[in-house]
Structure 1
């Protein structure tokens, strides 16, 4: 799960799986760097969607990705 402030993205429901608690760490770190670099909203949404599709093998959820990025951008 990616949590920064009130922005939460949990594309695979692993919140109760102890062995998977660090599943999103590398993605969260990359996203945090993108926020700090002030990359565009579209770039960050694209990153989240690519992670969902390419790394996790999931169908993407653009609405959730946009919501998470929007909340993250409130902090900068």
Structure 2
């Protein structure tokens, strides 16, 4: 399976790395999330900047519905 950048990954590997993603999101918000697949109140293309929301999404079942993008100015 390939992610949006064409890099190969497995769900288990990605799940194991989610803890690191959450820590990084809390420490410094040098990335935001963009929604690829709609979920909850979010629709495709939405930009998610709130650190608490980013953390919740990355630790939940919707992590596969978003991609990380560099925060402006970083």
Normalised TM-score (structure 1): 0.29
Higher helix share: 1
Higher strand share: 2
Normalised TM-score (structure 2): 0.30
